[in-house]
């Protein structure tokens, strides 16, 4: 009989679920673009179960992670930090991984992974610079969609430095560039380099070893990935499942815990 | 029921209570009272029988009593930037006469209770009583407190007292100031500053001296780039000790009493030795107490290390600990699963929040850098100069790493939790590199979190909990890997 585990990752800006069969096959997944403290978690859970045609009771183990992990009392069997879950998810997708860079809505984390397990980490301090929120703010000022930033930045022909490391001040820097008629694509490229420089500083603190894997929503932005590759001097691997990586790790840990509890 | 406290801990508490009580008494008798930085050579003040109070200890107490924010804001309103150390802001506001006080109605002279304050009411079985109307826990009226407001002692003293009503109002306003000892510390007649513990201290004490128009005795200890304290460094400090003695003679009108000085040095050495032995008990597995207890005992090392009572109290605690080790008893209220070094000053206003995830995960703090940083022992005056040259923020990174890695090894830690303290830039600045070295040299994971020693606005509980959980998971993985390798 198959074992079904559900991983739920409630982030600050999105709720993600991944359902796994036997700790190996992804049965279904869901993503709702609002996170902790909203209807997002319940909707994401309902969606992932519905698309698999299953119920909560059919799940052998449910593990919650992310900023809102402790808000799922009665739903989740266990909670773990998103740090371990991102390490686990990345190691499932890229077995040779040693460094995971996760840029989420409000935090940046760099994980050291050994044999698929997180052994050390660093996170950003209380500052939104370099996070997904930073890019959201910039996209709004530039009147472009956040998902178009990567494509637009790739068309840049001129270097424009965004020097500030503070989201609020960087925003005013971008506004003054716009006032000077600077090409939006060059500004976007400058923003990507600014994010990369901030994240690279953090990554150097924990140490960078190949393979380097980037997860979280910002990994979908090819401009940030490229700028980060240049800043680090390492190839960065990403997956189409990047946004689901934390939930995937949670489902994998859920499977491990289920086996351990039932063996015992 | 109150937690049982050992005789040693009781004695240590009394020592600090006495320091504050004696200073209040001295002030009332018209004697001179001073304020001193924590690592100023207290032996000099002891030689003149001076009553000295410690603003760092006071600020920690004010912060732990949840009045850090109102006092920090008061300092900011006086023009001090909120990037300045929280202890300094609290102390500067206090020196300016600002006090955390209880709100009252000026007509009825009755306190105005804050409905949000207080602890949940519990029934005879210890269960929380739920209010059937609101569905929320009922509050224990005995624990409810008035709103906290800011007051100013100089404003109070300037109030008229011609009528009976005016006198009653003035007296009530005096009474309304929070009654705990740190909020009732006498104003200083002189200040003693040694900037070995931090550089912000220099301007902090200069400001107090200027604000109160009182003498300042400054002993400057430059940051030391080498592990060794060279003879030229010693000569520089020795000359300042001589100048400080001269200044103290002028302030007190007394001659320097060499015998009293020697006795104070002997006491300080005895206290330091007992302190170190107490710290060493954290090497036991499980530890008989927690590093968080050590933070509390720090008050004695700071405020009374030159007094024989402090040495005796630590020696008594040592005996208690020896007994505890024999029976396997510990003050840590949970089974010790992991042992960590806690790096930095705790977030005093958020101590319960700091402790909660540690307790939930069985993490005991068994190492803190204060052990070697305050356990200094010396033989002569030059040795004393060398000892005061070594404080957590005046030593080079090699010395700092060596201190910490030494206690991490001896106290067998599984990980390191680093407080990136917004109040303490010199301490936090080099922690990123130290963290890297701890992992490389000790093979243990480290986690850092943002916070503040006194200003609660700089601490985020959710962020802290994630980092602690991450650290626990990394320690678990590390342990499993080591066990697998051993097989």
Indicate if the pLDDT at residue A164 is higher than 80.
no
CATH of domain B333-486: 3.40.50.11900
Please determine whether the domains at A1-94+243-264 and A96-238 fall in the same fold group of CATH. Answer: yes
CB B269 within 8 A of CB B307: no
Q: Domains of chain B: which residue ranges?
A: 14-100+150-240, 333-486
| pLDDT (0 to 100) of residue B331 | 85
Q: What are B207-258's pLDDT values in tens digits? A: 999 999 999 999 999 999 999 999 999 999 999 999 999 999 999 999 999 9
Residues from chain B that touch A81, judged by Cβ atoms under 8 A, are 466, 469-470, 473
CA nearest to A70 within chain B? B462
The verdict on ipTM greater than 0.90 is no
- Contacts for B434 with CB less than 8 Å, ≥ 6 apart: B343, B397, B400, B401, B404, B418
Q: Domains of chain A: which residue ranges?
A: 1-94+243-264, 96-238
Q: Which two tokens stand for residue B387?
A: 């000892």
| pLDDT (0 to 100) of residue B136 | 85
* B194 exposure class (CB count in 10 Å sphere: 0-12, 13-18, 19+): buried
Average pLDDT score over residue span B306-319: 96
Q: Tokens 């128009």, residue?
A: B213
B482 interfacial to chain A (CB closer than 8 Å):
no
- Contacts for B181 with CB less than 8 Å, ≥ 6 apart: B17, B20, B21, B61
B residues 391-420 lying closer than 8 A (beta carbon) to A:
420
A residues 39-98 lying closer than 8 A (beta carbon) to B:
67, 80-84
**Domain A96-238 CATH superfamily:** ATPase, nucleotide binding domain (3.30.420.40)
Q: What are B170-205's pLDDT values in tens digits? A: 999 999 999 999 999 999 999 999 999 898 999 999
Q: What are A31-44's pLDDT values in tens digits? A: 999 888 889 999 99
Q: What are B125-180's pLDDT values in tens digits? A: 888 888 888 888 888 998 999 999 999 999 999 999 999 999 999 999 999 999 99
CB B240 within 8 A of CB B219: yes
CATH for A1-94+243-264 (1.20.1050.140, 3.60.20.10, 3.30.420.40, 3.40.50.300): 3.30.420.40
A125 interfacial to chain B (CB closer than 8 Å):
yes
Provide the shortest C-alpha distance from residue B83 to chain A (in Å).
Answer: 14
CB A190 within 8 A of CB A160: yes
B478 interfacial to chain A (CB closer than 8 Å):
yes
Query: pTM higher than 0.90, yes or no?
Result: no
Q: How far is CA B116 from the centre of its chain?
A: 28
């Amino acid at each position: 009989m198959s074992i079904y585990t559900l991983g739920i990752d409630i982030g600050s800006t999105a709720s993600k679920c991944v359902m796994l069969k036997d700790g190996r096959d992804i049965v279904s997944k869901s993503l709702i673009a609002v996170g902790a403290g909203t209807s997002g978690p319940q909707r994401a859970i309902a969606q992932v179960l519905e698309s698999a045609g299953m119920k909560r009771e059919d799940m052998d183990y449910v593990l919650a992670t992310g900023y809102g992990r402790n808000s799922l009392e009665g739903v989740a069997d266990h909670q773990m930090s998103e740090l371990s879950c991102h390490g686990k998810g990345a190691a499932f997708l890229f077995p040779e991984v040693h460094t995971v860079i996760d840029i989420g809505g409000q935090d940046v984390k760099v994980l050291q992974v050994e044999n698929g397990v997180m052994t050390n980490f660093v996170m950003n301090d209380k500052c939104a610079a370099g996070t997904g929120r930073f890019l959201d703010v910039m996209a709004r000022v530039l009147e472009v969609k956040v998902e178009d930033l990567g494509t637009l930045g790739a068309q840049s022909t001129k270097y424009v430095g965004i020097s500030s490391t503070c989201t609020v001040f960087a925003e005013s820097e971008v506004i003054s560039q716009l006032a000077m008629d600077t090409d939006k694509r060059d500004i976007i490229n400058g923003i990507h380099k600014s994010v990369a420089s901030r994240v690279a500083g953090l990554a150097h603190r924990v140490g960078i070893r190949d393979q380097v894997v980037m997860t979280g929503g910002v990994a979908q932005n090819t401009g940030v990935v490229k700028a980060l590759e240049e800043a680090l001097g390492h190839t960065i691997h990403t997956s189409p499942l990047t946004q689901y990586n934390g939930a995937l790790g949670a489902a994998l840990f859920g499977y491990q815990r289920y086996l351990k509890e039932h063996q015992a | 029921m109150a937690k049982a406290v050992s005789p040693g801990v009781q004695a240590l508490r009394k020592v600090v209570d006495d320091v504050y009580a004696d200073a209040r008494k001295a002030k009332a008798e018209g004697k001179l009272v001073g304020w001193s930085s924590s690592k100023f050579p207290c032996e000099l003040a002891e030689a003149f029988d001076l009553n000295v109070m410690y603003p760092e200890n006071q600020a920690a107490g004010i912060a732990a009593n949840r009045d850090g924010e109102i006092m920090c804001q008061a300092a900011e309103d006086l023009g001090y930037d909120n990037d300045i150390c929280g202890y300094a802001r609290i102390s500067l506001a206090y020196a300016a006469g600002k006090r955390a006080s209880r709100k009252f109605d000026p007509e009825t002279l009755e306190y105005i209770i804050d409905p949000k304050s207080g602890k949940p009411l519990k029934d005879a079985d210890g269960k929380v009583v739920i209010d059937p109307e609101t569905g929320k826990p009922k509050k224990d009226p005995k624990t409810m407190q008035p709103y906290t407001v800011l007051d100013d002692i100089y404003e109070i003293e300037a109030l008229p007292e011609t009528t009976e009503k005016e006198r009653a109002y003035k007296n009530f306003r005096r009474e309304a100031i929070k009654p705990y000892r740190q909020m009732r510390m006498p104003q200083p007649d002189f200040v003693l500053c040694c900037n070995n513990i931090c550089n912000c201290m220099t301007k902090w004490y200069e400001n107090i001296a200027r604000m109160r128009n009182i003498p300042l005795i400054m002993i400057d200890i430059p940051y030391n780039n080498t592990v060794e304290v060279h003879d030229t460094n010693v000569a520089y400090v020795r000359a300042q000790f001589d100048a400080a003695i001269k200044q103290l003679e002028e302030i007190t009108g007394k001659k320097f009493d060499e015998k009293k000085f020697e006795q104070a040095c002997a006491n300080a050495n005895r206290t330091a030795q007992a302190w170190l032995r107490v710290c060493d008990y954290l090497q036991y597995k499980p530890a008989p107490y927690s590093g968080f207890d050590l933070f509390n005992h720090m008050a004695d090392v700071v405020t009374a290390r030159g007094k024989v009572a402090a040495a005796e109290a630590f020696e008594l605690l040592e005996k208690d600990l020896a007994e505890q080790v024999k029976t396997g008893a510990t003050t840590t209220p949970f089974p010790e699963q992991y042992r960590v070094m806690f790096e930095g000053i705790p977030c005093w206003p958020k101590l319960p929040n700091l402790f909660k995830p540690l307790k939930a995960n069985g993490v005991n703090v068994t190492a803190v850098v204060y052990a070697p940083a305050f356990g200094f022992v010396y033989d002569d005056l030059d040795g004393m100069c060398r000892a005061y040259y070594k404080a957590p923020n005046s030593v080079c990174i090699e010395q700092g790493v060596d201190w910490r890695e030494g206690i991490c090894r001896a106290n067998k830690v599984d990980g390191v939790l680093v407080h990136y303290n917004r109040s303490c830039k010199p301490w936090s600045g080099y922690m990123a590199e130290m963290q890297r070295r701890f992992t490389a040299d000790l093979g243990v994971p480290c986690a850092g979190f943002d916070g503040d020693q006194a200003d609660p606005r700089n601490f985020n509980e959710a962020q802290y909990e994630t980092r602690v959980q991450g650290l626990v998971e990394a320690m678990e993985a590390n342990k499993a890997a080591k066990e697998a390798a051993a097989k």
